[in-house]
Structures are given as C-alpha cells and as structure tokens.
Amino acid sequence: MFDKRLMQMCPESRRYIFGNIVLQWLELLMNAVMIGLIALCVEQLWQKNLTANAVLWRLVVILTTIAVRWFATKGATRMNYLASRTVKRVMREQICQKLLRLGTSYREHASTAELVQESVEGVEQLESYFGQYVPQFFYAFLAPVTLFVLFGFAGGWTVAAVLLVCVPLIPGAIMVVQKIAKRLLSKYWTQYTRLGSSFLENLQGMTTLKTYQADGYKNQQMNEESEHFRVVTMKVLTMQLNSIIIMDFIAYGGAASGIVLACAAFAGGRLGLSGCVFMLLLSAEFFLPMRRLGSYFHVAMNGMAAAIRFSAF
C-alpha cells in the first residue's frame, strides 16, 4: 500500500505531503466544530430554551469555521500541486540523466516507445500517487482516531468503538485487492508498452512493409495485440469496480450501523440529543477518508507499476 522506494526517489515532496495532511486534519476539526454547534442548537431548540444571542454567536463561529475550511481546502489543493510538480520535475530529470548516461545503448534496456510512455503517462500517474494517494494514506488513519476521541467526549464511546473497529475492514479489502492488482497492472503495463512499441516499429518500417507486401500480416498482428490489450484492460476495470463495490458496502454499512447505534443509545437514554445529532451527521466521516483512499489506490498502482519498470531498466 505504501512504497518507501518511491518516497526516497523524491524526498523534496515530503514537506508538501505533510502540509497536505495537516490541512486536511484542520478541515476535519472545523467540520466537527460546525456540526457540534448545530447539534447544540437542535437540542436547545428541542428543549425550547434557544435564545437569539446563542444563535447569533454560534452563527458567527459557524461562518468562521466555514471560512477556515475554505482556506484549508485551498491550501491542501495547493500542497497537492506542489508535491506532484516536484515529483514530475525530479522524475523527468532522472529519466533524461539516465538516457544521457546510456547514450545510444538505451535500446538494449527499453524500446523508444516504452521510454516515451513511461516519461509521459507514467510520470503523470505518479503525480496522483504523490499528490493524492500518499497524503490520503496517512490522513485516512488519522481521521478515524480523531473522530473516535470526539465521539467519546460526546458521550458515545460504544458507538465510537464499533465504528473504529469497522474502519480497518476497508484497508483489509484494499490489501486483498492489491495482491490481484499488482499482477494485473504489471500485465496491463507490459501489454501497453508492447503495443506502443509494435505500433512505432511498424510505422517506422512502413515503406519496407509495403515493398515486401507484409503490411497485411503486420496489420493482423496489431489487431491481435490490440484485442489482447482490450481483454487485459477489461480485467483491470472489472477488478477496480469489484473492489469499489466492496469498499462502498463496508463504508456505508458501517456508517449505517453507527447511526442505528446512536439512535438506540438516544432512545435508551444513554445519549443526549446533541450527541446523537453530532454522531448522525459525522458517522460517514469515519469511513469516507478510507473510501477515498481506495479510489486513489487504483490510480496510484498504475504509477507504481510504471516507476518499477523505469527503475528496472
């Protein structure tokens, strides 16, 4: 799920990744403060002791939290850009330096089409790995722990414990998918580069193929390789869709269980109305970071596969 070798290839991006994690955590705290104030207002309105002054100052605080969240979101997006920009620059510099060292003998290690694909699309995939996946990897573990503490102080330690136990099911599903994904994505990237190499070779040798009337044979060969690539692509997409279904089931099922437990605790008198509303509105936040991590995982695996192939030649 996390490759230390890729981080060592670009240490400059670490501070931007750390800044991204901090800003996302600040955004979560501001969201919790805003929902907590709304929950208190609901409870006081239910008890018919809500005053205009209480509504006014809470409205001011809520607007402040919204403003802080906006700046935190903008800052996190900026950190994503800075981390990915650094990665793309460093990786392309390393590719150029390696090609200059190899000289004309680079063809012994990789074809021209493969190098073009890795230096363009492969590096673009690494942008998602460093800019989205890595920060989300750490934030996805930080957010549930933070919410566990907040839910506990709201009076729902049992609900918080149940939700916290359900959260690791998502990374467990990701780890199972990763074992399948590594094999499929390796085959996908190999077939992708092979198809590009064949197309470039046939294009460069088109005059020779026409002269010896072998263009029809090469056309049939390209069609077979394209069909093989289509089959591999469909297998990758099927794997990704199946893993998304599993993660959605765990995420929304866990959020629903938290809502049911919070309502049961409120009905049994073990939880106040404000605590119940607070948990109802934030139950999904226990699982959304992990769910988002699962979405970024599939894109990140493409970048990791490309980086492994680049480091191998």
- Residue ranges of domains in the chain, CATH in brackets: 4-312 (1.20.1560.10)
Give 214-261 pLDDT, tens digit per residue: 888 888 888 888 888 888 888 777 877 777 787 788 888 888 888 888
* Helix/strand/coil percentages in the chain, nearest 5: 90, 0, 10
Give 273-303 pLDDT, tens digit per residue: 888 889 888 888 888 888 888 777 766 766 6
Report how far residue 142's alpha carbon sits from residue 188's, in angstroms, rounded to the nearest whole number: 33
Are the CB atoms for 225 and 195 separated by under 8 Å? yes
Phi, psi of 42 (to 5 degrees): -65, -45
Report how far residue 161's alpha carbon sits from residue 151's, in angstroms, rounded to the nearest whole number: 9
Give 159-189 pLDDT, tens digit per residue: 888 888 888 777 777 677 666 666 676 677 6
pLDDT for 309 equals: 61
Rounded mean pLDDT, 61-68: 94
pTM of the model: 0.77
Are the CB atoms for 188 and 197 separated by under 8 Å? no
Does residue 313 carry a pLDDT above 60? no
Alpha carbon 56 to its chain's center: 39
Q: 60, exposed or middle or buried, with CB in 10 Å at 0-12, 13-18, 19+? A: exposed
Are the CB atoms for 25 and 145 separated by under 8 Å? no
* Cβ partners under 8 Å of residue 198, min gap 6: 221, 222, 225
* Cβ partners under 8 Å of residue 154, min gap 6: 36, 274, 275, 278, 279
C-alpha distances in Å from residue 302, one per residue of 60, 124, 176, 177: 45, 10, 17, 14
pLDDT for 61 equals: 92
